[in-house]
Amino acid sequence: MARALRSARVRAALLTLPLVAFIGATFVAPLGAMLIRGVHQPLVADSMPRTLARLEGWDGRSVPDEATFRTLASELRSLRERRVLGAVAARVNRVESGMRGALVRTARKLRRASPASWREATIAADPAWGEARAWRAIRRAGERYTARHYLNALDLRRDAAGAVSAQPPERRIYLSLLGRTLAVAAAITAICLVLGYPLAHLIANARPATSNLLLLLVLVPFWTSLLVRTTSWIVLLQNQGVVNDLLVAVGLIDEEERVALIYNMTGTLIAMTHVLLPFMILPLYAVMRTIPPQYLRAAASLGATWRQAFVRVYWPQTLPGAAAGALLVFILAIGYYITPALVGGRTGQLISNMIAYHMQESLNWGLAAALGGVLLVCVAALYLVYDRLVGIERMRLA
Amino acid sequence: MGTAQSHVEFRGVGKTYDGRTMVVRDLDLRARRGEFLTLLGPSGSGKTTCLMMLAGFETPTEGEIRIAGRPVHDVPPRKRGIGMVFQNYALFPHMTVGRNLSFPLEVRGMDAARRAECVRRVLALVRLDGFEARRPDELSGGQQQRVAIARALVFEPDLVLMDEPLGALDRRLREEMQFEIRRIQRELGVTVVYVTHDQQEAMAMSDRVAVFHRGRIEQVASPETLYEEPEGEFVARFIGDNNLLRGRIVSVGPDTCEVETPGGTVRAFPVHRHRPGDRTVLAIRPERVGLARTGVYSNIFEADVEDIAFLGDHLRLRLDLCGNPAFIVKIPNTVGHGAVLRGDRIRVGWGAVDCRALPDDEGARAVEAVAA
């Protein structure tokens, strides 16, 4: 009997195997690889193993010995022949700017030389090699595992002595961007809650026909492509758009003081609120539907004002829905990419847009991965806070 | 009973939701201070609507409602000071019993020490001492019911409304709670307006019962009067079992009249001013019909026993009599099991006083036809 039950359970579990495989292959594995990329950088270490081995015993202050110079020259030459020098140079350059030129120039000048002193010839090819900084850069870039990208993502750096300190003010961008992203996500969540709460209440308490119609209207945006919806906002909000035309026509504003509603933070806020509103309404509706109107009547009959009834009786019971909706909207908002990219202009960009930039344009995947990791930690922290405050088992999605 | 004594008064109250169908019409009703008044009727008869209008959750379309002599049409529910027990208790699920009970005191601004004292007292009243820290979902149905009653009483209202409060309980618990509610009501001397569709519950608890039918009150009277002296066919059918016989008035005397039915002439007690030739409905209680050899009756008929059921303390016979194919007779179990058998031809009789000649209510028959 027990065996039959267990084999039935095993068979049932086997049915989920395709899904598990799918998620593993398309989600868990790439995500893991990406996160690893944030700390794991084998390129330089694999390309210049002998130079790095020589630098292991180096004191970090003086100029290294002749043998080290010789090894560097031979490895640079082979890198150049294998046509991977550019990638390696770019990686070292991220640690110490100017190193790309030094590496490429040195490799070119030394390509056929066989001097008596490799040290002098190398320093002659590029004077940077006469300073310890260049060698430290090589050594740092050669670390297989590095916290550099994470430090970078948090506006920190490692100074010459190896101590962690804040970036100079003009290079601090990510923390403030992260802060702005969190603030925007919080604002969108708040707006969605304020807009969605009464509507969810209306849907939950209307007659079935009305309620179905309203629910349909809430869901209609889901059937429209995100791009179409976002583009419609451009039509509506742009300088010569419907909203501005209307405001001018009504006479609220003059022709020359049209409001900038798009390609800035306002545009991001408006469009993202619209996109994310259903994610607030549906969990709220699911919870409100289970609260009979009798509770409010009971509160009134017991002498409570409308406000007291709402605050003490209704709101606490809708809290799981509100928290679920807020969590959903907030998490979706801090990772949102398309909408801010399309309507955010320069000031309305969020951290995801920066991640996309590093993925697609600067090709600094390590930094992109680190930024993604920071975002992931934010979401996880939020989830834990939610679990502590509301209890995850009480969460009700639609 | 003068207006001064009336605690609750409905004056010509009517209510319609859609502007066409009157859910309640021409309603006049009074409850004395300290009285237990039950609104009894089938579902859709308008009794709950009346309760909701009294509580302030619905507004009368016409007429006025007075509480303690004052019209209340512009008083919101929270200011009416009425304790209310809802159908499914409506205990706040996110609060403990103690918080539920102190809620009405908190919104009245009472300080914590006095609140705790009031809660303790009211829990003692409903015999749930020490239940403050429990949550409603940890309680049985009967305990939730007691908490709901306690919450309606804790702020000491002198008027308490109850909307089918026992509907969700099983039979045994329901009977226990009927006594319990009655005890509490007597102890506190509050006026209770109670809504139910269960006529036994209404009979067991009430000082007076108002029988609702299609938005009107058919009769308001004590349970005894409703049972013994129904004034119309609906009440006669709705309260207890009754055998109905249809016929025509032949002659009318001071205390009796003669009615012609398909099975012969019956002597009956005229409830209304009938005239010869009027159609009438006779109502005879099954337990007032006896075997003719054991009593002296002004009506005696012969009939075949179509069916017979032994119910312990009484026998229940089904006869085909005077045009009613399901005429029920209850014989107390003093004659012994086996004294009457199925297929026997027996003689039964009843007194003229126990046979009430009611006006023939065409409407009630139409409703019955639709229901069938």
- Name the β-bridge partners of B162: B85, B194
| A295:B92 CB<8 A | yes
For residue A309, is it within any domain?
Answer: yes
Phi, psi values for residue B249, rounded to 5°: -70, 130
- Candidates B79, B81, B92; nearest CB to A313: B92
Nearest residue in B to A298, CA atom = B90
Taking a C-beta distance cutoff of 8 angstroms, is the pair B245, B285 a contact? no
Q: Exposed, middle or buried, B265 (CB in 10 Å: 0-12/13-18/19+)?
A: middle
Distance separating alpha carbons of residues B131 and A35, to the nearest angstrom: 54
Same domain, A13 and A82: no
Q: Are residues A27 and A51 in the same domain?
A: no
Question: Could you tell me if A81 and A230 lie in one domain?
Answer: no
The reply to whether A265 falls in a domain is yes
Number of cross-chain residue pairs from A and B with Cβ atoms under 8 Å apart: 60
Cα–Cα nearest to B94, from A199, A205, A196, A299? A299
The answer to whether A299 contacts B84, with C-beta atoms less than 8 Å apart, is no
Question: Does one domain contain both A112 and A86?
Answer: yes
Q: Do B77 and A297 touch (CB under 8 A)?
A: yes
Q: How far apart are CA B58 and CA B42, in angstroms?
A: 20
Q: How far apart are CA A187 and CA A345, in angstroms?
A: 18
Q: How many domains does chain A have?
A: 3
Cβ(A151)–Cβ(A158) below 8 Å: yes
Same domain for A23 and A66, yes or no, is no
Question: Rounded to an integer, what is the distance from CA A175 to the centroid of its chain?
Answer: 12
Is A299–B103 a contact, with Cβ atoms under 8 angstroms apart? Answer: yes
Cα–chain center distance at B111: 41
Residue B308 corresponds to which tokens in the numbers above? Answer: 């017979």
Q: Which class in CATH covers the domain with range B240-371?
A: mainly beta
Quick one: pLDDT at residue B2?
Answer: 45
Among B48, B67, B107, pick the best mutation site for testing chain A contact (most A Cβ within 10 A).
B107
When CB atoms are compared, the residue of B88, B93, B104 closest to A302 is B104
Look at A297 and B57 and tell me if their CB atoms are within 8 Å. Answer: yes
What is the assigned CATH class of domain B3-228?
alpha beta
Q: Cβ neighbours of residue A275 under 8 Å, at least 6 residues apart? A: A221, A226, A229, A230, A336, A339
Interface test with B, best of A294, A301, A318 (most B CBs within 10 A): A301
Of A301, A304, A295, nearest to B54 by C-alpha is A301
Evaluate whether residue A147 is within a structural domain. Answer: no
> Minimal Cα distance from B151: which residue of A?
A302
User: B98-131, pLDDT tens digit by residue?
Assistant: 999 999 999 999 999 999 999 999 999 888 999 9
Q: What is the pLDDT of residue A394?
A: 66
8 A C-beta contact, residue B359 and residue B280: yes
Q: What is the pLDDT of residues B178-214, one digit of tens each?
A: 999 999 999 999 999 999 999 999 999 999 999 999 9
- pLDDT for residue B364 is more than 80: no
* Domain residue limits, chain B: 3-228, 240-371
Q: Are residues A30 and A89 in the same domain?
A: no
Give me the sheet containing B22-32, strands edge to edge: B22-32, B6-16, B62-67, B70-71
Identify whether A152 is part of a domain.
no
- Of the candidates B241, B240, B284, the residue with the CA atom closest to the CA atom of residue B261: B284
Give the amino acid at B9: E
Confidence of residue B3 (pLDDT cuts 50, 70, 90): very low
What SS3 state is found at A129? helix
Per-residue pLDDT of chain A (398 residues; tens, 9 = 90+): 778 888 888 988 899 999 999 999 999 998 888 888 888 888 888 999 999 998 888 888 888 888 899 999 999 999 988 999 988 998 888 888 889 999 999 988 888 878 888 888 899 888 889 888 889 889 888 888 888 888 888 888 877 667 888 888 888 889 999 999 999 999 999 999 999 999 999 999 999 999 999 999 988 888 888 888 888 888 898 888 888 889 888 988 888 888 888 888 888 999 999 999 999 999 999 999 999 988 999 999 999 999 999 999 999 999 889 988 999 999 999 988 888 888 888 888 888 999 999 889 888 888 899 999 999 898 899 888 888 877 766 665 54
CA quadruple B119, B121, B123, B126: dihedral sign: negative
A288 shares its domain with A227: yes
Rounded to two decimals, the ipTM of the complex is 0.79
Residue B109, chain A, CB below 8 Å: the answer is no
Does one domain contain both A11 and A77? Answer: no
Q: Measure CA A150 to chain center.
A: 13
Residue A155: inside a domain, yes or no? no
Q: Which of A299, A305, A317 sits opposite B94 (nearest CB)?
A: A317
Domain membership flag for residue A279: yes
In a domain, A168, yes or no: no
CATH of the domain at A336: 1.10.3720.10
Token pair of A123 as six digits: 């320093």
Look up the domain containing A24 and give its range. 2-37
Q: How many CB atoms lie within 10 A of CB A381?
A: 10
A162 belongs to a structural domain: no
Same domain, A223 and A349: yes
Residue B8: exposure state from Cβ atoms within 10 A (0-12, 13-18, ≥19): buried
- Asked if residues A56 and A42 have their Cβ atoms less than 8 Å apart, the reply is no
C-alpha–C-alpha distance, residues A213 and A164, integer Å: 58
Residues A380 and A234 in one domain: yes
Q: In terms of domains, do A204 and A348 share one? A: yes
Chain B contacts of A308, Cβ < 8 Å? 107
